[in-house]
Amino acid sequence: MHGMRLAARFTLAASLLVAIAVRAGAAEPLASWNAGASKQAILKFVDEVTREDAPTFVPVPERIAVFDNDGTLWAEHPMYVQLAFALDRVKALAPAHPEWKTKPPFSAVLAGDLKALAASGEKGILELIMATHAGMSTEEFAKIVTAWLDSARHPRFRRPYTEIVYQPMLELLRYLRQNGFKTYIVSGGGIDFMRAFSEKVYGVPPEQVIGSSIATQYEMRDGKPVLLRLPKVDFIDDKAGKPVGIEKFIGRRPLLAFGNSDGDQQMLEWAAAGRGLRFMGLVHHTDGAREYAYDRKADFGRLDKALDEAIAKNWLVVDMQKDWKKIFAFEP
């Protein structure tokens, strides 16, 4: 009896100390966000769902936050990072595939002809993805991605892609986690491509990454089980696929959802339709000097219908130029 009471008192004391420590340590959340309506809206929402005496309080297990990746957490211009990876892989694998020299879309990649590549359309891109993302085990693929991320450089910023991540969004992810949120990535990008860096770069563990996938097959290789990656689409986690992916992997409706393009519209709608207070945000690429400026007419990462809906429904539209003090950590 005495032991139990003692334990209970220790636990209470410990909780109070942790609470104080967290407050003291988190003196300035969202440091790279300029003071203003956007930052204020985030702080207000987090306060309203985490303050125990608020009528809008949400218990910790239900604090699910989902983030798109390309254009929301890291740059997606001048091309999706995963496409840059696929193109480099085609070049690396070309010596073993002499037929690629004359076979589109591979010939376009090898000739550096991005226009011809674009003309091959979605079918051509899918062919590139399958030729570069399938045919090896899951472990081999993870090693290939990691090695590429270590050596590849962003063409404009001349730094590893894992540094072309938005500092204000890293701070938002951290701030949410400090407030009991579980942070997820929900991206049209490849799930296994993102898992190779998500924990290190975003603090998001592999089990909290949802993305597009190809099928895998369990088989024995020299008496050891492997999962072989097959050239077959398993799931496309984009547009209406995002709520499907969220329900499949999480089984709970997000409390907060952040995207940057029309590919995120349904994910935001799905979050918005939940009971009680919800937070929907869009990153609007408005800063051509420090990053890129694009929206309604972009070839990819297009923000058009989702922007209209955000304005109509009063979702947060983050103006990168105005709202962000710093876009990348490496800025002077």
The answer to whether the Cα torsion of 46, 47, 52, 55 is positive or negative is: negative
Look-up: residue for tokens 């899951």?
138
In the complex, what is the shortest distance from the CB of residue 23 to a second copy, in angstroms, rounded to a whole number? Answer: 8
Which residue, 15 or 56, has its beta carbon nearer to a second copy? 15
Subset of 20-79 contacting a second copy (CB under 8 A): 20-21, 24-25, 27, 61, 64
**Using rule CB under 8 A, residue 312 touches a second copy:** no
Which residue, 21 or 114, has its beta carbon nearer to a second copy? 21
Which residue, 124 or 243, has its beta carbon nearer to a second copy? 243
Subset of 117-176 contacting a second copy (CB under 8 A): 138
Report the residue from 218, 222, 297, 299 that binds a second copy according to the rule CB under 8 A.
218
**Using rule CB under 8 A, residue 190 touches a second copy:** no
**Using rule CB under 8 A, residue 266 touches a second copy:** yes
In the complex, what is the shortest distance from the CB of residue 309 to a second copy, in angstroms, rounded to a whole number? Answer: 12
Pairing, β 224-235 against β 209-221: antiparallel
| Count, residues near a second copy per rule CB under 8 A | 51
Which residue, 93 or 142, has its beta carbon nearer to a second copy? 142
Q: What would the 3-class secondary structure string for the chain be?
A: CHHHHHHHHHHHHHHHHHHHHHHHHCCCCCCCECCCHHHHHHHHHHHHHHCCCCCCCCCHHHCEEEECCECCCECCCCCCHHHHHHHHHHHHHHHHCHHHHHCCCHHHHHCCCHHHHHHCHHHHHHHHHHHHHCCCEHHHHHHHHHHHHHHCCCCCCCCCHHHCECHHHHHHHHHHHHCCCEEEEEEEEEHHHHHCCHHHHHCCCHHHEEEEEEEEEEEEECCEEEEEEEEEEEECCCCCHHHHHHHHHCCCCCCEEEECCHHHHHHHHHHHCCCCCCEEEEEEEECCCCCCEECCCCCCCCCCHHHHHHHHHCCEEEEHHHHECCCCCCCC
Which residue, 110 or 142, has its beta carbon nearer to a second copy? 142
In the complex, what is the shortest distance from the CB of residue 228 to a second copy, in angstroms, rounded to a whole number? Answer: 10
Which residue, 112 or 205, has its beta carbon nearer to a second copy? 205
**Using rule CB under 8 A, residue 309 touches a second copy:** no
In the complex, what is the shortest distance from the CB of residue 195 to a second copy, in angstroms, rounded to a whole number? Answer: 5
Report the residue from 79, 227, 277, 293 that binds a second copy according to the rule CB under 8 A.
227
Report the residue from 55, 98, 225, 332 that binds a second copy according to the rule CB under 8 A.
225
Report the residue from 240, 290, 319, 321 that binds a second copy according to the rule CB under 8 A.
240
Cα–Cα dist 171/327, whole Å: 11
Q: Interface with a second copy by CB under 8 A: which residues?
A: 3-4, 6-8, 10-11, 13-15, 17-18, 20-21, 24-25, 27, 61, 64, 138, 182, 191-192, 195, 199, 205-207, 209, 213, 216-218, 224-225, 227, 234, 240-241, 243-244, 247-252, 266, 269-270, 273
